Structure 1
Amino acid sequence: MTLETKKSVFVELGKFLNQFSENNTTKKSDVLHNDLFFDDFEKLIHLSQSHNGWYTPEQVYFALQSWADALTEENITKWLSGYSLEPDQNKEHTKNVALILAGNIPLVGFHDFLSVLITGNNAIVKTSSNDQHLLPFLARYIIAVNPEFSNKITFAEGKLENFDTVIATGSNNTARYFEYYFKDKPSIIRKNRNSVAVLDGNETKEQLENLGEDIFRYFGLGCRNVSKLFVPKGYKFDAFFEAIFKYQDVIHYEKYANNYDYNKAVFLMSNFKLLDNGFLTLKEDSSYASPISSVFYEFYENREELEKRLAADAEQIQCMVSSDSGKNIIPFGQTQNPQLWDYADNVDTITFLLTTK
C-alpha cells in the first residue's frame, strides 16, 4: 500500500467525521459508505454516555470534530513531509505494534493508532474498558474504504501476543508495570502529565474565557487540560472567576457535581483555604495534578525563576498555556486542539516507529 493510498483513506475518514457535530449533523451524499455507517455512528455517539458516563454527546462531538479538522490532505501531508516513508513492500520490516490505550477522553489513543498504520505497520490494539466502541467503529470504516487494512488492524480481547514493539499509556502506577512487563521490547510508555497556565495579570477577558475551555473541556480529565495556574504575587482572581462564569452549567452534570462536592468537602475538612465560585475550587498547592472540579495555583515573583522551575519539571507537564509566544507555548483555549505534529510527551511517535528494529 503506497503512502498516498494510506493518506487518502484517512482523508476519507476525516470527511466522514466532519458530518457529525453537536448542532448540525448533516449526512452528505459525497461521503463514502454513508449508507453503511452514518446512522449507526450517530446512534453510537448518543450511546457513548451509557458506556462511559463522562462521554457526553457534547464531548464526543467535540473529539470527532477535532479529528475531522486534523484529517485533511493538507494537514496529513504537512505532518508527514519531514519523514522518509516508503510503500509497504518489505514485509520483513513491518512491525506488529501493541497499543495499550487510555480511556480518559474520547479517542485519546487515535493518534497512536493512526501513526502505526500510516507508517505501514500493524496495530494490535488493547482498548481501555472506558472506551471500547468508538475506535473499533472507525476501524471498520477504514477497512470498508480500503479492505487491505483488514490484515493490519487487530483488537485484542485477552493477553497481548505476537508483537514487536509497544506504545502504552497509563498512570504512573501502571507505567511501572508496563516498564517491567515490556522491558525486552522497544517501547513508548506514557505516564501521568498535567498542563499549566502562566498568567501575568494582563490577560483580556477573552483570554481568560478561553482558559476556561482549557480547564473544563472533557471535564478536566485530559492530560492537556489545565490543572495548575501560576500567577504573579498578589494576583486577584476576580477577573478569572468572572470570565469563566460562562462554564457554570458544568455543575449540572451529576458526575462532575459529585466530584465537586466530594473534593471540596475533603479540602475543607483538612482546613485548606479555598477560593470557590460554586462550580470550581482554587487551592494554593505546589502540585500539578489537581482533582476534578479543582485547579491548583501558585504565586511567583520572578518569571525567569519560574521558567527554570517549569523546565526542571518538564516531564510532569504536557502543555503550557500563556499569552507569550514561543516554542511549546499554546494560546489560551487551544490545548484540546492539537495538530498531528503535536506529539504526546514530545515523543515523536513516527520517528520511533521508523527507527526501532
Structure 2
Amino acid sequence: MSQIEKKNCFIALGRFLSQFSNEQNQKDDAVWHNDLFFDSFVDLIHASQSHNGWFTPEQVYHAVQSWAKALTEDNLNQWLSRYDFSTVQPKTVGLILAGNIPLVGFHDFLSVLISGHNVLVKTSSNDQHLIQFMAKYLIAVCPDMKDCITFTDGKLENFEAVIATGSNNTARYFEYYFKDKPSIIRKNRNSVAILTGNESRADLVRLGEDIFRYFGLGCRNVSKLFIPRDYDFQPFFQAIYEYKDVIFYEKYANNYDYNKAVFLMSNFTLLDNEFLTLKEDPSYASPISSLFYEYYDRLEDVQQRLENDKDQIQCVVSNGLTPNSIPFGKTQQPALWDYADNVDTLQFLIEI
C-alpha cells in the first residue's frame, strides 16, 4: 500500500471516531461501514470499564475524541510533510504497548504503518480491545491493510525493530532482550507544572484537567507543582473544586483513602481538600489522588533542575515559563508531532 492510501485509511478512521462523544453518539450516514461498526463501538466503549476498571466511558470517550481531532487530513499532512520516506524499506516493527490510559499505544501503531512498515503488536492486558477494534475498522476500510497488521498474545518473534513501553524495571529487561535490534525503549516519566501565583482562575481550572484526566494515570498528567515560597494555595483549591466528583469513583476513592492514611501514619504534613492530598516532596511521581509540591526561590533554579532531570520529565506546564512548555489544560491533547519522551518516532522508523 502507498502512504497516501494508508493516510486515507486513517482519515476515514478519524471520521468514524468523530461520531462518538460523552455528550452524544451521533451517527453520520456518510461515514463508511457504520452498519458494521457503529453500534459495536458504542458497546465496546461502555464495556471497557469491565476490562479495566479505570477505563470509564467518560475517559474512553475523551481518548476517542482526541484521536478524532488528530486524524484529519490537515494534521496528517502537516505531520508527514516534515519527513522524507523515499528510502524506507518495509520491515516488521514489534510494539509492546502500555495500558495505563485508553489507546495510549495508538501513536506508535499509527507511526509504524504510516511510515511504510508492518506492525506486530503485543497489547497490554489492561488495554487489549480498543486498539484491536480500530485495527479491524482500518482493515474494513482498506482490506490491503490486513497484510500490514498482526497482533500476538505470546512473545514477539520475527521482527526487525521494536518500540517498547514499560516501567523503569521492565525497561532494563527490554534493553537486554532487544539489545541486538534497533529500538525505542520508554521508561517512567512524569509531568510537572510551574506556578508563580499570578495564574488566573481559568488557568488553575485548566490545570485541574492536567491533574485529574484519566485519574492521573498518564505520564502526561501533572503529578508535581513547583511553587514560589510565599504561594497561597487557596485559589488553587477553589479552582480545582470543579473536579470534586472524582471522589465518587470507587477506585479513585480507595486510592485516596489508602494514600492519605499512609501519609498520615508517616507523620507527613498534608494539605487536603477531601479528594486530593498535597505533600511537599522532592520526587516527581506522586501516588494516585495526591500531588507533590516543591518551593522555589528563583525560576532559574527550577529551569535548571528540569533540564538536569529531563530524562524523567514528559511535560512541563506553565504560562510560557520554560521553552516548549505546554499551556494549562493541554497535556492530554498532544498533536501528532508531540512525541513521547521527545524521541522522534517517525525519524527512527525511517532510519531503521
TM-score (structure 1 length as normaliser) = 0.97
Partner of 2:237: 241
Find the aligned partners of 2:17 and 2:76 in 1 and give their Cα distance: 15
Partners of 1:2 and 1:86 within 8 A in 2: no
Q: Would you say 1:96 and 2:92 are equivalent positions?
A: yes
Find the aligned partners of 2:273 and 2:108 in 1 and give their Cα distance: 38
Q: Would you say 1:78 and 2:74 are equivalent positions?
A: no
Matches within 5 A, 1:164-203: 164-203=160-199
Partner of 1:60: 60
Matches within 5 A, 1:148-163: 148-163=144-159
Cα deviations across residues 39-96 of structure 1 (Å, max 9, x unaligned)? 10100000000000000000000000000000000000000111012498xxxx2111
Partner of 1:20: 20
Find the aligned partners of 2:150 and 2:270 in 1 and give their Cα distance: 48
Q: Paired residue for 1:277, among 258, 261, 273? A: 273
Shift of 1:325: 6.0
Partner of 1:296: 292
Q: Which amino acid aligns with 1:67?
A: W
Find the aligned partners of 1:160 and 1:254 in 2 and give their Cα distance: 36
Partners of 1:3 and 1:86 within 8 A in 2: no
Partners of 1:194 and 1:318 within 8 A in 2: yes
Q: Paired residue for 1:108, among 104, 118, 140? A: 104
Cα deviations across residues 114-147 of structure 1 (Å, max 9, x unaligned)? 0000011010000000001000000000001101
Find the aligned partners of 2:155 and 2:302 in 1 and give their Cα distance: 45
Shift of 1:6: 1.1
Q: Mark the runs of 5 or more structure 2 residues left unpaired by the alignment.
A: none
Partners of 1:197 and 1:226 within 8 A in 2: yes
Partner of 1:287: 283
Find the aligned partners of 1:66 and 1:82 in 2 and give their Cα distance: 22
Find the aligned partners of 1:166 and 1:8 in 2 and give their Cα distance: 25
Partners of 1:192 and 1:316 within 8 A in 2: yes
Find the aligned partners of 2:219 and 2:163 in 1 and give their Cα distance: 17
Cα deviations across residues 271-323 of structure 1 (Å, max 9, x unaligned)? 00000000000000000000000000000001111111110000000000001
Q: Mark the runs of 5 or more structure 1 residues left unpaired by the alignment.
A: none
Partner of 1:330: 326
Shift of 1:327: 3.5
Partners of 1:195 and 1:227 within 8 A in 2: yes
Q: Which amino acid aligns with 1:228?
A: K
Aligned residues: 352
Find the aligned partners of 1:4 and 1:182 in 2 and give their Cα distance: 32
Find the aligned partners of 2:156 and 2:3 in 1 and give their Cα distance: 28
TM-score (structure 2 length as normaliser) = 0.99
Q: Paired residue for 1:320, among 316, 320, 334? A: 316
SS at 1:310 equivalent = helix
SS at 1:330 equivalent = coil
SS at 1:66 equivalent = helix
Partner of 1:252: 248
Partners of 1:192 and 1:223 within 8 A in 2: yes
Partners of 2:32 and 2:141 within 8 A in 1: yes
Q: For the aligned residues, what is the CA RMSD? A: 1.0
SS at 1:329 equivalent = coil
Partners of 1:212 and 1:247 within 8 A in 2: yes
Cα deviations across residues 238-295 of structure 1 (Å, max 9, x unaligned)? 1000000000000000000000000000000000000000000000000000000000
Detail structure 1 runs of 4+ shifted over 6 Å in the superposition.
Answer: none
After superposition, the Cα gap between the structure-2 partners of 1:325 and 1:75, relative to the gap in structure 1 and judged at 3 Å, is farther
Partner of 2:47: 47
Q: Paired residue for 2:219, among 209, 220, 223? A: 223
Partners of 2:303 and 2:322 within 8 A in 1: no
Q: Would you say 1:127 and 2:107 are equivalent positions?
A: no
Q: Which amino acid aligns with 1:131?
A: D
Shift of 1:4: 1.4
SS at 2:268 equivalent = coil
Cα deviations across residues 183-218 of structure 1 (Å, max 9, x unaligned)? 111100000000000000100000000000000000
SS at 1:98 equivalent = strand
Find the aligned partners of 2:32 and 2:143 in 1 and give their Cα distance: 14
Q: Paired residue for 2:207, among 211, 215, 221? A: 211
Find the aligned partners of 1:277 and 1:183 in 2 and give their Cα distance: 47
